[in-house]
A and B are shown apart, each in its own frame.
Chain A
Amino acid sequence: MQYTSAYQNMTDKALWNLAVKGDKKALSVLYKKHYELLLNFGLKYIADEELVKDCIQDIFVRFCTSSNLSQTDYVRSYLLTSLKHSISDKLSALKITEGLDAHLFDLKIEDSALEVLFKNNDEELRIGKQLMDAYKKLPDNQREAIYLRYVKGLSYKEIAAFLDITPQSSMNLVSRALSGLRSRMSLEDYLLALALFFS
């Protein structure tokens, strides 16, 4: 596989620019690089692995056959947006409405898992449970923002491009989510926000 070396050190943006010019190998590198991100993101949307995988294939087949791919500065955001649209298109074509609105971006950290994670510290276990309860009560888009920011490590700018808002609003969204968490917790108020930001 001689091509990997030449493409491996390029930024997503550089790869995408090549893809826009019709370079299929650049697309394949982006595909392999971000497949896990897309799959996991999709699974947070709908827990149907086959459907999510089909949608990922669909969007890349479309990129490969499209003669005018649009330019983007935020490739990951563009991929995520495309996948999100593809999933909701497919679901509406299949007339599936359930599953989409409820429990989006549920992190699926059960109490039993928390008990194992914090088995030596009751105080931490209590905080952990409170945090997860608070997280579950957040609106969907705020959970989505927290997931992308902290689990997937996207920047505010990328989150902003994905949600099609300004970076400032995306920061606001994340901090609103955090203060939402804060107000839902009985203790720790502002410290939580600090902790999350500096983690």
Chain B
Amino acid sequence: MEKEKLSLQHVVKTLISYAREQERRVAPEELDALWAEVEKRTEAERRRKSHRRIFYAAASSAAAIIFCAFLIGRQYISYCDDDSISEFAGQTWTHIPDGGEILLMMPGKKEVEVEQAANIVHSKEGIITVNTDTVGIEEETREKEVLFNQLIIPKGKRTYLTLADGTRLWANAGTRIVYPTRFKKRLREIYMEGEVYLDVARNEKAPFVVKTNDFQIQVLGTSFNVSAYPSENTASVVLVKGSVNVKSKGKEEVTLAPGQLVDIQTGKPGTPRNVNVEPYVCWIRNMLMFADEPLDKVFKKLNLYYGEDFVLGPGVAELRVSGKLDLKEKQEEVLHTISYSAPVIYEEKGGKIYIYRK
């Protein structure tokens, strides 16, 4: 009897643990992706609800219509400077990964992995292509519903993006761009972190606004470079041609003339100064230019471009260099060029590259 009880217990335990093992498991990465989807849908839902509320009110009675006209008016104003794009950006991503593929995320569609230096084009008709492959078609959305695409470029990668209005963007490594699936009629708005060179298609009726975490740039049609890496405490805007207006969160504004640069430090724009724009924008041609700059800055950039970790030995960071680096060359050759012009040697060890003073 005692023996039977024991074997029964054993059978029950075996069955229960077998049943537990049979349960479906979900990997943490999958959970993160699934939750991101919940957030995206939540945002869309909230937007849809707030518009629907107004619609219902308008339909109900005359008294409500007066009230509602006021509401719509207010809604319209807040719509103009509503910050749904920054809100969306703040909710959807915490950091840009150090490695991996370029990702294009479109609401309601599968994530698309994009190859290095690919050309992503959103046509006026809403067709989305990567190089020559069609990856999606924007469906007609309900009027006023705003959904966002998101492009993530990890370290070591780069890509080109053409928006539906004809604006072209060169997105540097370690960058994220959020943009609506369809621009509003009177406002073209994107959000970015990292570094982007923009060639904005001119449209006087719809100003183009680039938002970052702590400032925004408004333009009509022009070419300029924005560098706003969250990891660095100074962001900068350099204007190549046209005119741009930079506005900080604290509502301080500066207007740039061609050839001018403004630094934005902790959300405060400095005084615009005249610069040679070439070093700031030549990265779009895969070049890096330095004019008497410390090596730690050089290696920070190289870390972004190649995604490789550089460890600087004592006395290396402060060495100052000037000149050009051609990033189309292999990393090996670039390092060789540096060690040729500055008194340093390099050594690869355990997946990192160590730079020592000679």
Contact = CB atoms under 8 A, between A and B. Distances in A.
Interface in A11-30: 24, 28
A123 interface: yes
A118 B14 contact: yes
Interface in B147-179: none
A96 interface: no
Interface in A103-146: 107-109, 113, 117-118, 121, 123-124, 127-128, 131-132
A40 interface: yes
Interface string B33-55: 01101110110011001000000
A195 interface: yes
Contact of B23 (A123, A151, A188, A198): A151
Given A28-B35, A32-B31, A124-B10, A65 B42 contact: yes
Nearest to B20: A151
B24 interface: yes
Contact of B5 (A65, A150, A191): A191
A181 to B, nearest CB: 10
B11 A57 contact: no
B91 to A, nearest CB: 8
A194 B94 CA distance: 51
Interface of B: 4-5, 7-16, 18-20, 22-26, 28, 31-32, 34-35, 37-39, 41-42, 45-46, 49, 91, 94
A94 interface: no
Nearest to A49: B24
Contacts of B32: 32
10 contacts: A43-B24, A57-B37, A109-B15, A124-B11, A131-B15, A191-B4, A191-B5, A191-B8, A192-B8, A195-B9
Chain A: interface size category: 35 or more
A88 to B, nearest CB: 21
Contacts of A65: 42, 45-46, 49
Contacts of B42: 61, 64-65
B7 A123 contact: yes
Contact of A57 (B7, B8, B23, B38): B38
Interface string A43-80: 10000010001000100110011000000000000000
A39 interface: yes
Nearest to B40: A61
A57 B41 contact: yes
**Pairs A-B, 6 closest by C-beta atoms:** A64-B42, A195-B9, A40-B23, A195-B8, A32-B31, A61-B41
Given A108-B22, A124-B11, A194-B5, A35 B16 contact: no
A1 interface: yes
A131 B34 contact: no
A43 B22 CA distance: 12
Nearest to A33: B31
A155 to B, nearest CB: 16
Contacts of B39: 24, 64
A76 B12 CA distance: 25
Contacts of B15: 107, 109, 117, 128, 131-132
A98 interface: no
A101 interface: no
B24 A199 contact: no
B57 to A, nearest CB: 17
Q: Which of A49, A123, A132 has the most CB of B within 10 A?
A: A123
Given A65-B46, A195-B12, A198-B9, 19 more contacts: A24-B39, A24-B91, A28-B35, A32-B35, A36-B23, A36-B25, A39-B24, A39-B26, A43-B24, A64-B42, A109-B19, A127-B7, A128-B11, A131-B15, A150-B16, A187-B4, A194-B5, A195-B5, A199-B9
A124 B7 contact: yes
A92 B8 CA distance: 41
A65 B40 CA distance: 11
Nearest to A61: B41
Given A61-B38, A123-B7, A117 B19 contact: no
B24 A151 contact: no
A28 B42 CA distance: 12
Given A118-B14, A194-B5, A64 B26 contact: no
A40 B28 CA distance: 16
Contacts of B34: 31, 35, 53, 57
